[in-house]
Structures are given as C-alpha cells and as structure tokens.
Amino acid sequence: MAEIQSYTMNFGPQHPAAHGVLRLVLEIEGETIHKADPHVGLLHRATEKLAETKPFNQSIGYMDRLDYVSMMCNEHGYVMAIEKLLGVEVPTRAQYIRVMFDEITRILNHLMWLGAHGLDIGAMTMFLYCFREREDLMDCYEAVSGTRMHATYYRPGGVYRDLPETMPKYAESRFRSKKQLDKMNSVREGSMLDFIEDFTARFPACVDEYETLLTDNRIWKQRTVNIAVVSPERAMQLGFTGPMLRGSGVEWDLRKKQPYEVYDLMDFDIPVGVNGDCYDRYLVRVEEMRQSNRIIKQCVDWLRVNPGPVITEDHKITPPHRVEMKDDMESLIHHFKLFTEGYCVPEGEAYAAVEHPKGEFGVYIISDGANKPYRVKIRAPGFAHLSAMSEMVEGHMLADVVAVIGTQDIVFGEVDR
Amino acid sequence: MTNPYESLATRIDARFGEQVSRVASTCRELTYEVDKDDLIKVATALRNEADFGFEMLVDVCGVDYLSYGSDEWTTNSATGTGFSRGVERPSVILDEADEFDARRFAVVYHLLSIQNNLRLRLRVFTGTSNPPIVKSVVDIWNGANWFEREAFDLYGILFEGHPDLRRILTDYGFIGHPFRKDFPIMGNVEVSYDADEGRVVYKPVTIESRTLVPRVIRDDNRYSADLRDVKKDG
C-alpha cells in the first residue's frame, strides 16, 4: 500500500473563521501544516484606482471601507497625506477630536478583534461581552457623524463638525420596560463628552472582566502560548507593524516615535511583549485598550474647557458656512467650486502614516497639480502580516491556523483594498 | 539643532555619490532616485550599514507615469464654449510598443529605520524594456514578497529574482494590468451567469465611461515655489 506523504487542503473562502474572504491552500501532513498559501483579492475593489478618478474629498468615504472595523483611523491617514501636500494647519481642537476618535476607534477595533479571536478558539462569551461595549462607541460615531460605521468625519483641514451637545437616546419599545429604558438612557442625558467620560470611567472594569475570562484561562493559554512565535528580527524583516511588532518585543509606536496631531502631549505607555507568541500579542492589545482609555479621558478633559474652530477657515479647501453663503458672493463661489471641481493640490508626493489599530497605515499620494490624485497607494498593515502567514503556521496544527488568523487581526477590506 | 533628514542626506550623498540623485521634496521627506542597475547594491548598503540601518521595508508601490500632468479640460479657453462634463476620452489603445518611455514605470520603496527613527523613499525607473523589469529586493527585505507581487499584478512590472511572482489581487485568469493608466476604469470584460449554458460567461464590457468631475490642473499662485518659501521663512 502506497504511503500518503502529504495532501493539500482548501480552507475558505467562505469560512466563518477566515474573517472574511480568505482562501488558504494548506499543505498538510497528518494534521501538521507544511505550507500555507493564502489567496487574497476576493474583495479587491481597486480603491486606489477609483481614488485616482475622483476629486480628493470624494475618496474619504472609500477609506472607511478599507478596514471596516477601524474606520476613522483610515480616514486619518488619507487626510493627513492631503494636508501634508497642501500645507494646511489643522486647528488644535480638531487635533484633539481626531486623537480622541482615533483612540475610540482603536478600542472599537480591539473589541472586535478580541470578540472574534475568542469566538474562533472557543470563548463564545467574549464575543457577547465585547459587542456590549462596542455598541456604546458606535453610538459615539453616530452622534458625531450620523452613521454608525462609515463616518467620513475627518476632512482635510479638520473634522466635519464640532461634537454634539446631545446624545441620541433609546426610544420606547415593547421589547423593553420603562425601567430598562430609563437605565439605558440615564448616561445619555448630557452632552457627548459626558457620555464618553462616563464610558472611560466604566470601561477599565469591563477590560478586567475580559481578562478574568481569558488571561489565566487554561484553555485560552493552551491555544495561544507558544503558538506562532515571531522573533523581533523576523518581525522587522517581514514588515510587521503595530501590535504584531510590539508583541515580539520591539518598542515601536508611531504615536510616540513620530508623533502626529497632539499625541506628544498625551500621557500613555506602550505595552511590549516578550515571547512574540499569540498570547503576548493578546496581552499587548488588551493593555492598548486600557492606554487608549487613558488618552480618551485626557482628550475629554481638554475638549471640555477649550472651545474653538474644528476645521480650517481656508474655504478653498473646506466648505463655507451655510449662513454666509446666503448673502456673500465669495462664499457662494467657494461653495460652487468646491463641490463641482474640488481643489487642486500642488504637485508633489507625500507619505503619511498613522498608528492604526492594526499597525502602520500609510497613504502615499502623488499629485501632479490636478484636482484628483495622480496615484494613491494605501499601505495596509494587514497585507504585510498576512504575507507572513505561511511562516507563522509552519509546523503547527490545523487548528492553530485559526488562532494565527485571529492574532494577525486580519480584515479583508484593507488587505484586498 | 540639525535636521536628522539633512544629516541623513549628507551621509547618503557621501556614501553613494553618483549612484543616487536626490529629488526635491516639498513635504520634508527625503526621496532619492536610484538607477535600476544599482538598486541591489544601494538597498543592501542601506539595510546593513550602521549609518543607515533601514531594517524595514514599509511599502513597495508601482507607479505608471503615462498621463502625468495631463488634464481633461483646457480651462483657459473653455469658458467661451461652455462646459460639458462629457469629457471626450480617446478610445483606449493598449500600449503594446516594444519600448516604453524610459520614465514611464517606476517602483517606489518606502524604507523605515527603527533604530534611527528615519524614513527614506527610493524611486527606481524601470527603463525602456517591455515588459518593465527591475531586480527583486525580497532577499534584502523578506516582507517585499507580496508587495512586489502586487506591483506585478497591477502594473505588470517584473521583479527579477522573485521566488513566486504570481498575480495576487486580481481574479484567477485575469488579463491585463488594471492599474496602468491605459487600462479603462470600467475594465474590459463583464461577467454574468448564463442560464442556458449553465456557467459563468465573460463578455466585452457594455457600460459607458462617465466623468462626474473632469480632471483639471489650475495655476494656483498660492503654491508657487517662491511664495511658499516666503511663507515658511517669514
């Protein structure tokens, strides 16, 4: 009888643990992986080419749809690149709002990651717990931009509008009693900043809850400790960034090392892993949520006492005030030109990178002086991480592939673009 | 206080001399153009020598400079005749010349030095050859693997020495390189399910190209070089 050496198995593209449309072709011997060949691109929408056919402002919405669990951070990279080319100054209040929403987004992303990662390797409760807190943050998105996910809130020169004075409230419904309703709405009586401050007060206890479930959990540790160990040298060689790099023990965070907006004024720490395995990356991300919470609190305190403009007054780039348009010719012209043609960006090239929840999200724009970018290149952190998939799963068991997909925090919106 | 980028530029100029040439940048970024024959030598030195220490390749990006600086409207004479958003585009002719313009295709590398906290951009033009070809940097930075596959897929740039140069983002069996400027935005084929034949069929694309906002280039004095300098120094 001929002995079977190894065989090839197809994983995905429709698989609940593949976090989207990932197709993996696995070369397996028994249950041990020899080689993994990820086939990506099933969600390729040519975002970069589409952006080349539209005025600069009209592509902000596409950025939300890249990594669709950390929307505003994507926008941030894109508008920063445009601002760099234009040489626009962003008002300080807008910078604080951006930092606050970047960190809200980071928590949103890490909650999604924790819930899905937990679910993948056998911790159902995590998913439910994480989505409970995500809901509050989604409400912040909604309050400030009108949509829960695809906000288009950051604009070149600032943010679309100032923080609202009220929070939307839950409506009466036959599914919940008056008492429940009052309890749910009790934190939504004040302004949005009140709501966020209340969130920052209760969130650390929630993180404690997650940690109670996972950090010392025997099953969790069996599934993550010593799985997919990446040395710091390899991590840099493979182009890892963000928690993937920090999990391997490299202290590198753009918010500290190449600070943008007002991150240099913020007090926070960078968690770093030791062993570079899935468990360390888990610990790094959980600690990042706590640090983000600290940053949000600092931003809330500053924003409370410092009113001011949230978008630049240069109406060649930003729309004029509605009221002024009624009797000011100049404003009317600005409005018309901005919405029919957009603005021309000086010739040149710029690369702007932000510390996205997943790693370094960079946008490289080449402009030839037109009202549309000549070339937009989006550097997605997940793309570099997924390319190391084969190396990370080699020698592990089939079940660990799912743990590695989870630990890489893959979202196909940004990998495939 | 010396600007770390200026001191890096001095070191690069001293070390590589003729092999690299600096490109003027308005955004306080450092860009060098490298001849395609010198790429491997320069890249290896940038990675290994302590003066530079670029241990990480952040991004590899293909660029097609075919229509750089061309607009769809001549704004100076257009006011007399009225505007039509229906920009007339020449029908797409695939550029199948034996030789390309030497400055048509470029590969742009973004490097990051973690130890020195510096960034650097390298640009390599692929020269006249069709298909365009440059040497692969996968052996220097292993993370380049997928980025080079992407540039190959979208621009048709070949990377000599790449271990596994396959398409990555487009469909299995895709024809053409979609990010080239002579590739139409709506594609060449459309896909539908044919109930009679019981399979998916590919047909030439039937939709028409639209322009919502024409591409224009305006002379804007605010960005002219001399005014910019005045603003910065003052």
Give the list of residues 6+ apart from residue B40 with CB closer than 8 angstroms, or none.
B135, B137, B140
Q: Which residues does residue A352 pair with via DSSP β-bridges, in sequence order?
A: A363
The residues that bridge with B118 in the sheet, in sequence order, are B113
* DSSP letters spanning A343-402: ----SEEEEEEEEETTEEEEEEEEE-SBSS-SEEEEE-HHHHHHHTHHHHHTTSBHHHHH
The one-letter amino acid code at A417 reads R
CA distance A369 to chain B (A): 6
Angle between helices A92-120 and A398-408 (to 10 degrees): 170
Q: What is the DSSP letter of A217?
A: -
In the sheet that holds B56-64, the strands lie side by side as B20-23, B31-34, B118-125, B105-113, B56-64
DSSP state of A11: E
Q: Check if the beta carbon of residue B151 is closer than 8 Å to that of residue B60.
A: yes
Across the interface, whether the CB atoms of B213 and A387 are under 8 A apart is answered no
Amino acid at A19: H
Q: What's the pLDDT score for residue A90? A: 92
Count CB neighbours of A97 within 10 A. 25
d(CA B165, CA B152): 7
Cβ within 8 Å, pair A369-B217: yes
The C-alpha atoms of residue B115 and residue B24 are separated, in whole angstroms, by 25
Q: Which residues of A touch B218 (CB under 8 A)?
A: 344, 369, 371
Q: How many helices (H) and strands (E) does chain B have?
A: 4, 9
pLDDT of residue B232: 44
Residue B86, classified by CB atoms within 10 Å of its CB into exposed (0-12), middle (13-18) or buried (19+), is exposed
pLDDT in tens, chain B (234 residues): 468 888 888 888 888 888 888 887 777 788 888 988 888 988 998 888 888 889 899 999 999 888 887 777 655 554 444 444 556 555 455 556 677 777 889 999 999 998 888 899 999 998 888 888 899 999 999 989 999 999 999 998 999 999 988 889 988 888 888 998 888 888 888 889 999 999 989 888 888 777 778 888 877 666 665 555 444 443
Contact B143 A257 (CB under 8 A): no
Are A165 and A192 a contacting pair, CB within 8 Å?
yes
The span from the CA of B206 to the CA of B51, in Å, is: 56
Residue A119: other Cβ atoms inside 10 A: 18
**DSSP designation for B40:** H
Q: Is A264 on the interface with B (CB under 8 A)?
A: no
Which of B229, B81, B112 shows the shortest CA–CA distance to A87?
Answer: B229
The domain spans of chain B are 3-183
Within 166-225 of B, beta carbons closer than 8 Å to A belong to 167-171, 178-179, 185, 212-213, 215-218, 220, 222-223
B141/A85 Cβ within 8 A? no
Beta bridge partners of A268: none
pLDDT score recorded for residue B209: 74
* pLDDT number for residue B82: 43
B147 touches chain A (CB under 8 A): yes
Q: Would you call B146 an interface residue with chain A, using a CB distance cutoff of 8 Å? A: yes
Min Cα–Cα distance to chain A from B99, Å:
23
Cα(B127)–Cα(A327) distance, integer angstroms? 56
C-alpha span between B72 and A220 (Å, rounded) = 59
pLDDT attached to residue A295: 93
Residue length of chain A: 417
pLDDT for A1: 58
Closest alpha carbon within chain A to B219: A369
Number of Cα atoms under 13 Å in the Cβ half of residue A237: 13
- B5 at interface of A, judged by CB pairs closer than 8 A: no
Question: What is the assigned CATH class of domain B3-183?
Answer: alpha beta
pLDDT digit string, tens, across residues B20-30: 888 877 777 88
Phi, psi dihedral angles at B84 (to 5 degrees): -125, 130
Phi, psi of A159 (to 5 degrees): -125, 160
Q: Are A311 and A295 in contact (CB under 8 A)?
A: no
Cα–Cα distance between B124 and A31 in angstroms, integer? Answer: 44
For chain A, the straight-line distance linking the first and the last C-alpha, in angstroms and rounded, comes to 48
Which value does ipTM take for this structure?
0.86
pLDDT (0 to 100) of residue B84: 47
Return d(Cα B179, Cα B171) in angstroms, integer. 14
Q: Would an 8 Å CB–CB cutoff place B63 in contact with chain A?
A: yes
- Distance from chain centroid for Cα A139: 16
pTM score, two decimals? 0.88
Which pLDDT tens digits describe chain A residue by residue (417 residues)? 566 678 888 887 877 777 778 888 988 888 889 888 999 888 898 999 999 988 999 999 999 999 888 999 999 999 999 999 988 889 999 999 999 999 999 999 999 999 999 888 888 888 899 998 898 999 999 999 888 889 899 999 999 988 998 888 888 888 888 888 888 888 888 889 999 999 999 999 999 999 998 888 898 998 899 888 999 999 999 999 999 999 998 989 999 888 988 999 999 999 999 988 999 999 999 999 999 999 999 999 999 999 989 998 888 889 998 898 888 898 998 999 898 888 888 888 999 999 999 999 999 999 988 889 999 999 999 999 999 988 898 888 888 888 898 898 888 888 988
Closest by CA position to A376, among listed A45, A52, A62: A52
A372: tokens are 């549309």
* Sheet of strand A23-29: strand arrangement: A7-11, A23-29, A32-39
pLDDT at A314: 85
In the prediction, which pLDDT does B223 show?
A: 61
Cα–Cα distances in angstroms (integers) from residue A281 to residues A111, A117, A123, A387, in the given order:
14, 12, 17, 18
pLDDT mean across residues, chain B? 80
> What is the three-class DSSP state of B211?
coil
Identify the CA nearest to B43 among candidates B31, B29, B57, B63. Answer: B57
The answer to whether the CB atoms of A351 and B110 lie below 8 A apart is yes
| A359-367: strand order across its sheet | A348-356, A359-367, A375-379
Name every chain A residue with its beta carbon within 8 A of the beta carbon of B146: 383-384, 386-387
The three-state secondary structure class of A32 is strand
Q: Say if the Cβ atoms of A383 and B185 lie within 8 Å.
A: no
**Cβ–Cβ gap B58/A50 under 8 Å:** no
Q: What angle do CA A332, A338, A340 make, to 5 degrees?
A: 100
Number of H helices, E strands in chain A: 18, 8
